[in-house]
Structure 1
């Protein structure tokens, strides 16, 4: 398979997001995370949410594409394919070669962590996720995967800390909002703190997640909050000489 240089660089940035989405083992209400969402199109109004006011800034992880050789790009693609086929030993070997050749390639450590997770090697997975963050502190998926691992082991304070770190890197990361909301809602009993993060997530994904909408409605009932009714849209005035279809 032959890659152009531009395509190869983009693969290294985006492939981890795809794999995180399909490889996370988080239970109910949990999600691995994705560095790409409709967040960059979102605009927060004053007082409307916990999101910063104004248009979203670009995802910093996607703004810093790594410079790698064609050989490394091919190895990464091969490792990605092996992971999708659950060929864990092959994927692990390829990813280890990549991290030796390019120790600053954060996505390789992230995927290595996912390989270890798939094989129930959680200690090695934790180290790999930490290595991914050390290589690139803007790797939002690495924070989320590490936090999910910590949450599953009962280390809720560490999980909360890593979700917060991800949001400090980029406050428009939808999955970090969703995951910290799940932590507050299901594990820490902090319903009032969960609600604004669910709402921020829903805003960032364009309000299209019906499941999260139901969670928000449930939280509002539990908190005694009356949902604001949607304002009726006024029908446009007919212009003389034109017909309404």
Structure 2
């Protein structure tokens, strides 16, 4: 992995976060990946939609994919108001709001969503991402853990927990466990790099103590 200057890390963090009030990320082997949007649009948990609603959702999905988050949020707000029990629609609305720089609105949407669909892992995962960005690391930990309680095979939550434990909480053994779980579920080769670098940190820590 090529070396990355701290100045570049902070610049990339600012670009990803879109909010000057968020805490800068500490330097670390997984820092760039950790600051990417580790949450994705969902089509799961959608109810039966009318033809008009299906068209509306398709337009919102296209807007999300094209980066037009304001248009996506407008379409999804209308759908979610009509179908508040639809976890997939509520999640995508929160995702669009977050990507549009409306973190507070995204958190409100997620709070409403988990109140009626507490089993929906993507919602807890996204809530954890938002909490982490705002520096609420233990709250982020709880959300990621709840995502895994809802779905033990939800790989992204394992990755987010690994990032959180390594980069923000300094709990390296816990980070190692969740990197391993993420790799076992995805076979993502990048996880091997993260694990190798983390192992070096663990060995250095053992040598110093």
Normalising by structure 1, we get a TM-score of: 0.64
Matched, 1:80 2:61: yes
Q: Which has the higher contact order (CA 8 A, sep 6+)?
A: 1
Contact kept in structure 2, 1:82 and 1:90, CA below 8 Å: yes
- Per-residue CA shift, 1:161-198, capped at 9, x if unaligned? 00000111111111111110100000000001110110
Structure with the higher helix share, 1 or 2: 2
- The answer to whether the aligner puts 1:194 opposite 2:175 as a matched pair is yes
Unpaired runs of at least 5, structure 1: 1-24, 37-60, 226-245
2:196 equivalent to 1:214? no
Q: Is residue 108–residue 132 contact of structure 1 (8 Å, CA) maintained in 2?
A: no
The total of aligned residue pairs comes to 174
Shift of 1:87: 2.9
Corresponding position of 1:28: 32
Match 1:183 to one of 164, 179, 184: 164
| Maintained 8 Å contact 1:32/1:141 | no
Per the alignment, do residues 164 and 35 of structure 1 end up closer, same or farther by CA in structure 2, a change over 3 Å counting? farther
Higher Cα Rg: structure 1 or 2?
Answer: 1
- TM-score, normalisation: structure 2: 0.75
* Alignment partner, residue 161 of structure 1: 142
RMSD after superposition: 2.3
Unaligned stretches of 5+ residues in structure 2: 1-15, 18-30, 205-209
Paired residue for 1:3?
Answer: none
Give the Å deviation of 1:218.
1.4
